[in-house]
Structure 1
Amino acid sequence: MSPCSRLALALAAAGKRAISSAPRNSAVKDSLPKLAVTRRVEDSQPLLIKEIAAEVVARISAGHAVVNLSQGVPCLPIFKEAEERMVNFLREGHLPYSHVAGIWSVRETAAKFVNHFYGTDFTADHTIITAGGIQACFNTLALVVESKADVVLSTLPAYSLYQAQTSYFGGTFAAMTSGSDGRLRPEALHAAFDEQRKAGRRVRCVCLCTPNNPTGVVMSRQEVEELASALDLELAREPAGFLVLLDEVYLGLHDGAHVSLLQVASEQLRRRICLVLSASKGLGAMPGARAAWLTVGDKALVPEMLKVQSAVSANASTIAQVGLEASLAHCMSDPKVLQQVHDYYSTRIGFMVEQLNSLGQKYNLGVLCSHPRGAFYIWADFSGLTAVENDLQLQRLLLDRGVAVIPGSAFSISPSLKMLRINCARDDMEELQTAVRIFDETLAGLCGSS
């Protein structure tokens, strides 16, 4: 056990002793009325992904064997360059605040990275370093959502964060009709805008996650260009305007086919885009650092967003910031870096796709999944499984047998569709083999041995 682990256990034990020895006044405790929390908080729902992740950690801590294929955590180590930069920063002996928007050199590097990969001309003045992608999304929605009349549109399936934050701000979350893979088509976009206008509401933000989470799908250049034209048309129809929250945190895991909306956007559309990128996935593999950034198309909005961030988190961790800077510099220094990241995960994904589809054939469930083009997880379809009513039942059966996955309903779709997101980011291939065995045993119990 590491010194840090021993210290954590010691502190936890000390805390328990302190609580158990503290005097208790049951009369006072029983007479305390329940605190009335705000309706905004009371009506908000916790993210199912986070709840499952917490349960998995608790099970592992209790000594249970669990192959964790749930939360979107990479398994590659952080880049050596980032590790050395953060260690050296700590050795300087100071951990100062930075500007709320981030250290200037980190903002410059983040802007250079976006320009390098997207062919744009942003500067540090367009850039805010945030405490993870969640903070970046929060900053964006805070500018435009304050009542039920304010609508946030998203394709489904989608990361439920967008819906949760919209609800927290008191807005209305609405889905745009899309294929099961999350692709957004122009006619669906126009239909969603028309529906909100008829209802007397106004669209204030369109959330686009690409490569898509949870499907791993990327859109073709033609699809992205058609979508850009459709958004331009809606901008012309909306006097108050709206933002486009472009969530591309899975950049770096795609197979080279990814085309960003930012790359084909007109000038007016570019100024409405808020691009979210992060070092949590393919660009650094350090989700615990909470190192992300916003590139704001209209830099006049940056001071407004900083009002939000200064009241919520202020600056992102300075340690995380220097790690982010080193990671991005490393990615720009050699084009092979991200290709190696993609190839590493592609091997694991390929194994799981082949094995799960073999099980689909074995148990007459059809093709369960395909190889994603921009993720380290797979989106598996168990709709042919009649022995369970929904994805939550299947997820629970698998967890009880020792493999953790995320049910599709965590991405704002119906549990009855029986979709699962399965993270293939495990360094030890034997863990994936164990997961396949557990899937086999679970399906055998549900379908009968074949």
Structure 2
Amino acid sequence: MPTTAARLSVFTESVIRGTTRLANQYGAINLSQGFPDFDPPETLLSGLERAARGPNHQYAVTWGAPAFRKALAGKISRFTGLDVDADQHLVVTCGSTEAMMVAMMTACNPGDKVIVFSPFYENYAADAILSGAEPIYVPLHPPGFGFDEDDLAKAFAQKPKAIVVCNPSNPSGKVFTREELLTILKYAEQYDTWVITDEPYEHIVYAPHEHVYFNTLPGAFERTITCNSLSKTYSITGWRLGYVHAPASVIAQARKVHDFLTVGAAAPLQDAAVGALELPMSYYEELTTIYTKKRDLFLEILRGTGLPFTEPQGAYYVMVDITELGFPDDTAASEWLIKEIGVAGVPGSSFFREPVKNLIRFHFAKREETLRAAGERLGALAVRANAGR
């Protein structure tokens, strides 16, 4: 039998999805894979019902249905202030996952280097490797998960073709400040590097932190490839609607990659989602309020366990230090939490280049009753932690 591609031996399957399967097997409350257990906005539900009876059941335009792209361009313009041409600046993808792969393959040649901040969402390194590029890592330092400029300068000195910036960040909840982004831009300009941003949590940011769109920084638009999705903002992770936003010359190339990867995103779902993109500002304000309450509730639950954690600035994840539970590593702790406590979290080591094995990532994109039920189970951690002292 012929051998499979050598590059596939460099990374594993998704640890997040594997944790979800284990949670399902043992009936644990799933705080690992980041999806809500509540319905999306009514405008999406009614739009879906309408689309099911509509005519759009065949291929849409490969790079996105015109009505969807028009609504998407309007929404992006509203929040960024940029002039977005729906026909020139956008390609609609199957979620931000495909958007990132399209961006990476559009920007990079085999043998190029790509900077990735660590901890990182597990797809980023895999995307680089699958594109034939080599990831190089810059550590983010807790508790604020900022970077050391010397580390960044050393990484850029290797002349990378691109840098990936997830903002707000999964898994750390880091929100990059304007000053930090300007520092990244300074080096990107110096070394003529693409900046690939992943921004699906753009509207889930906690005061006093603010989300800054990288492509709105002075001189940044022409070197920025923005990836995003509707998944988190509208609670539709299963719809797989994402997009790439970039200069027209970049999108012309990105559309080729997208066409041969997936042909196009689901036509009925694009039709159904137009109304969501036209929701008023009050929707996004309420979204922030809702997630702030969920964060506060879950952090209160974690304080009851006595385990240290990092308070997220954005997104809906919390990194919890499980050192005091006495396990040899985070994988063993995660499996025990699922099988014995009934709550699933992701081993933090799957997000780090460094040998970090004392963290578990939980998410709180759940109904209040779900979080409280998880809290009742997690209460047992305080007993175990105290016994280990």
Q: Could you say whether these structures have the same fold, taking a TM-score greater than 0.5 normalized by the shorter chain as the test?
A: yes
Looking at structure 1, the residues matched to 336 and 22 of structure 2 have their Cα atoms a distance apart, in angstroms, of 14
- Matched residue type, 1:359: T
**What count of residue pairs does the alignment treat as equivalent?**
385
Q: CA separation in 1, counterparts of 2:332 and 2:385?
A: 11
Correspondence 1:92-111 to 2 at 5 A = 92-111=54-73
Inter-partner Cα distance in structure 2 for 1:259 and 1:343: 15
C-alpha distance in 2 between matches for 1:222 and 1:243: 19
Deviation at 1:443, TM superposition (A): 4.7
Secondary structure at 1:178's aligned position in 2?
A: strand
Whether 1:350 and 2:302 are equivalent positions in the alignment is no
Deviation digits for residues 308-333 of structure 1 (CA, Å, limit 9, x no counterpart): 11111011111221233221111xx2
3-state SS of paired residue (1:208): strand
Q: In the aligned structure 2, how far is the partner of 1:39 from the partner of 1:370? A: 37
- In structure 1, the partner of 2:378 is 439
Partner secondary structure for residue 152 of structure 1: strand
Pairwise mapping of residues 69-218 of structure 1 onto structure 2 (< 5 A)?
69-124=31-86, 125-147=88-110, 149-180=111-142, 181-194=144-157, 196=158, 202-218=159-175
Answer with 37-46 or 106-115: which moved more. 37-46
Q: Is 1:284–1:324's contact at 8 Å kept on the other side of the alignment?
A: no
- Indicate conservation of the 8 Å contact 2:196/2:224, yes or no: yes
1:308 to 257, 262, 272: 257
Give how far 1:413 is off.
4.2
Give me the whole-angstrom Cα distance separating, in 2, the residues matched to 1:101 and 1:300.
14
Structure 1 length normalisation: TM-score?
Answer: 0.80
Task: Could you tell me which runs of 5 or more consecutive residues in structure 1 were left unpaired when the two chains were aligned.
Answer: 1-33, 197-201
The one-letter amino acid paired with 1:292 is: G
Q: Any idea what the Cα deviations from partners look like across 1:284-305, whole Å, max 9, x if unmatched?
A: 1101000111101x21121211
Instruction: Please say if residues 398 and 442 of structure 1, whose CA atoms lie closer than 8 Å, have aligned partners that are also in contact.
Output: no
Q: Indicate the RMSD between aligned Cα atoms, in angstroms.
A: 2.2
Instruction: Report if the CA contact (8 A) 2:294-2:368 is conserved.
Output: no
Give the SS at the match of 2:146.
Answer: coil
Rounded Cα–Cα distance in structure 1 between residues aligned with 2:126 and 2:215: 29
1:329 aligns with 2:291: no
> Could you tell which deviates more after superposition, 124-133 or 373-382?
373-382
Rounded to whole Å, the distance in 2 between the matches of 1:76 and 1:117 is 25
Once the two structures are superposed, residues 33-87 of structure 1 have per-residue CA deviations (whole angstroms, 9 ceiling, x without a partner) of x453222345442121122123323x1xxxx431111111123311111221222
Aligned counterpart, 1:392 = 331
Give yes or no for the alignment of 1:292 onto 2:232: no
**1:244 matched to 2:211:** no
The unaligned stretches of length 5 or more in structure 2 are none
Q: Is 1:46–2:13 an aligned residue pair? A: yes
Matched to 1:266, the amino acid is P
Q: Compute the displacement of 1:412 (Å).
A: 2.5
Change (3 A) 1:317 1:412: same
Contact 1:114 1:120 in 2 (8 A): yes
Between the aligned residues of both structures, percent identity stands at 21
Quick check: 133-142 or 163-172, which moved more? 163-172
Cα distance in 1, alignment partners of residues 126 and 292 from structure 2: 31
Give, in whole Å, the separation in 2 of the partners of 1:174 and 1:255. Answer: 30
| Cα distance, 1:449–1:387 mapped onto 2, change above 3 Å | closer
Residue 186 and residue 109 in structure 1: after superposition, are their counterparts in 2 closer, same or farther (change >3 A)? farther
Deviation at 1:242, TM superposition (A): 2.6
Which residue does the alignment assign to 1:28? Answer: none
TM-score, length-scaled by structure 2: 0.92
